[in-house]
Amino acid sequence: MSLPSTAGQPALEVFYDGGCPACRREMAHYRAQAGAEAIRFTDGAHDLARLAEVGLDPMAAIATLHAVDADGTWHVGVPAFREIWLRLPRYAPWARRLRWLIDSRALAWAYAVFCKLRLPNRCRDGRCPA
């Protein structure tokens, strides 16, 4: 799946867990930033039709952040955050300066731990997507 890069179309589509309060807050913050019009934010917990269109498993969509750029390249986990930050003028300089940190195994490990700790609580009582 690739996104059109024509004027007015998003250059990046982000799939996040809309059932996670922390995830919702963070994506709402990004949506409020200058440059956010270049990003389509898709709630992976509730927009199951869109997940099916792009071939993204619902559990994968809520387990970790996913993003696909206009070229059809997928970015999963911390690299997805980098793609968001690169499109937001407020964050882009930091995304470029801290690339070594963003690409570090330590940060990827910390994010994976956050996701694993959050998911069992998130999926309790059948609240995960079908």
Banded model confidence at residue 113, pLDDT cuts 50, 70, 90: confident
Q: What's the pTM value of the predicted model, to 2 decimals? A: 0.79
pLDDT at 82 exceeding the cut of 80: yes
Q: What is the rounded distance in angstroms from the CA atom of residue 14 to the CA atom of residue 54?
A: 12
Which one, of 86, 73, 111, 76, lies nearest residue 30 by Cα? 86
Higher pLDDT, 111 or 12: 12
Q: Look up residue 51 and give its amino acid.
A: L
pLDDT of residue 4: 40
Averaged pLDDT for residues 85-100: 85
pLDDT tens string 13-57: 999 999 888 889 999 999 999 999 999 999 999 999 999 999 999
pLDDT number for residue 51: 95
Coil vs helix vs strand at 69:
strand
Confidence band for 109, pLDDT divided at 50, 70 and 90: confident
From 53, 14, 51, 68, select the one nearest 130 (Cα to Cα): 51
pLDDT at 114 over 50: yes
Q: What does the alpha-carbon distance between residue 98 and residue 81 come to, in Å, rounded to a whole number?
A: 12
> Can you say whether the dihedral through the CA atoms of 1, 86, 65, 30 is positive or negative?
negative
Specify the higher pLDDT residue, 32 or 114: 32
Q: How many CB atoms lie within 10 A of CB 73?
A: 12
Using DSSP's 3-state secondary structure scheme, residue 47 falls into coil
